[in-house]
Amino acid sequence: MTSELVGRAVLGWRVAELVESWPETASARALVLGVPDWPGHRAGQHVDLRLTGPDGYTTERSYSLASPAARSPGGWRLQLVVQRVQDGEVSPYLTDVFAAGNLIEVRGPIGGWFVWSPREGGGAPVLLVAGGSGIVPLMSMIRERRFRRDRTPFRLVYSLRTQADELFADELNRPGIGDGGVETFVVRTREDSPRSGRPAGRISAADLAAWGWPADFAPRCFVCGPTGFVEEVARLLLSLGHSPDDIKTERFGPSGP
């Protein structure tokens, strides 16, 4: 599957079935969708999900793909992770009601810009900066790197409220085979991180200077999370001397109440 084909596919809605799901945290759920005729995707892409009510009312939301672009023996299995937004319309349905065997419409893969593949970039290191559920497409990049046996140096700076909000905690904290060269640093905004001696607080230029790459290395930077978080991190990276051309961002929408 070449990127060109993915980019050119005329996207229609496909019916997917929820194969399995599990809680990732108390407020986020991993969903595995079986999509028989999936064309493949690139790390960083997302899908649109469409819900239709009994009266024909429809609504759509975007969710990033967490899985690498790999077909499993049973056919394509797409993993999403949905964070429940308390007064949200769609996410509480997906985390609390949507059950194995239920069907949903999926459109994708979507996005030709916020994507990473091993061949591009001529070996430049990669900085991933995630806020909350913004980790999802970045996890797809980490998994793609592992799946392709790529050695590009990766650093992940992951900002979350508390330890209990950490998605993919096992996988990030006990890196498996193939994840050598991926370094993870967690920034907690609402509680101290005793191990690193970092007090609670929002991500700062000091965090990015300490845990990112020097601007001289011209790393490719991928920043994803709530809109306010993404704006702030992009501003900090520019202030540290990174080139706007090396910074790719994806906003997940409102920063919350």
Residues at the site binding ligand FAD, with contacts judged by CB under 6 A: 46, 61-64, 81-83, 85, 87-91, 133, 136, 226, 250, 252-254, 256
User: Rounded distance, CA 246 to CA 157, Å?
Assistant: 17
Say how many Å lie between the first and final Cα of the chain, rounded: 41
Q: How far is the CB of 88 from ligand FAD (least distance, A)?
A: 2
Instruction: Give yes or no for residue 248 binding another protein (CB under 8 A).
Output: yes
User: Rounded distance, CA 79 to CA 241, Å?
Assistant: 35
Q: Identify which of 131, 51, 114 has the alpha carbon closest to the alpha carbon of residue 248.
A: 114
Q: Which does 191 bind (CB under 5 to 8 A by kind): ligand FAD, another protein, none?
A: none
Complex with ligand FAD: residue 146 or 251, whichever CB lies closer: 251
Complex with another protein: residue 23 or 253, whichever CB lies closer: 253
Instruction: Give yes or no for residue 251 binding another protein (CB under 8 A).
Output: yes
Amino acid of residue 24: E
Complex with ligand FAD: residue 47 or 182, whichever CB lies closer: 47
Q: How far is the CB of 256 from ligand FAD (least distance, A)?
A: 4
Chain position whose Cβ is nearest to ligand FAD: 88
Q: How far is the CB of 235 from ligand FAD (least distance, A)?
A: 20
Q: Identify which of 161, 119, 138 has the alpha carbon closest to the alpha carbon of residue 223.
A: 138
Residues 6+ apart with CB under 8 A from 243: 215, 218
User: Rounded distance, CA 166 to CA 145, Å?
Assistant: 21
Q: Which does 136 bind (CB under 5 to 8 A by kind): another protein, ligand FAD, none?
A: ligand FAD
Q: How far is the CB of 61 from ligand FAD (least distance, A)?
A: 4
* Sign of the alpha-carbon dihedral angle for 241, 242, 245, 249: negative
- Write out the two tokens for 151: 């050695």
Q: Identify which of 46, 134, 51, 48 has the alpha carbon closest to the alpha carbon of residue 90.
A: 51
User: Rounded distance, CA 151 to CA 94, Å?
Assistant: 35
Instruction: Give yes or no for residue 250 binding another protein (CB under 8 A).
Output: yes
Q: One symbol per residue from 61 to 90: x for binding another protein (CB under 8 A), - otherwise; what is it?
A: -x----------------------------
Residue recorded with tokens 């759920």: 29
Residues at the site binding another protein, with contacts judged by CB under 8 A: 4, 7-8, 10-11, 46, 48, 60, 62, 107-108, 110-114, 226-228, 230-231, 248-255, 257
